[in-house]
Amino acid sequence: MNRGRPTTVIPKTVKPSHKKGIKTEKKTFVKSIIREVAGFSPYEKRVMELLRNSKDKKAKKLTKKRLGTLLRSKRKVEELSAVIQEQRRAGH
């Protein structure tokens, strides 16, 4: 069907606000460098020690107190337990 004047379709661009929260290669690289240089904060070291002694509930409670919400706490505990597993694999 011929409907009205033929026009060229302009491709839609992605708004910068829609890119929020996406992990890019550069961001992950920078984050790893910062972690390597700065190390872990005292509460993170304490949480890692609790996780090594299989006190997961206590670790979650401590991180919730420090970070504010349970979701952030769970993410942090997952991140730190992944670090512990990585250290075990490396034979640290």
- 17-53 tens-digit pLDDT: 998 989 999 999 999 999 999 999 999 999 999 999 9
Can you give the pLDDT at residue 92? 62
- Alpha-carbon span 10 to 32, nearest angstrom: 39
Write the CATH number of the domain with boundaries 41-92. 1.10.10.1760
Task: Answer yes or no: are the C-beta atoms of 44 and 81 closer than 8 Å.
Answer: no
Query: Nearest-CA neighbor of 51 among 71, 79, 70?
Result: 79
The CB density around residue 75, as the number of other CB atoms within 10 Å, is: 13
Answer whether residue 2 shows pLDDT above 90.
no
- Alpha-carbon span 56 to 58, nearest angstrom: 5
Answer whether residue 91 shows pLDDT above 90.
no
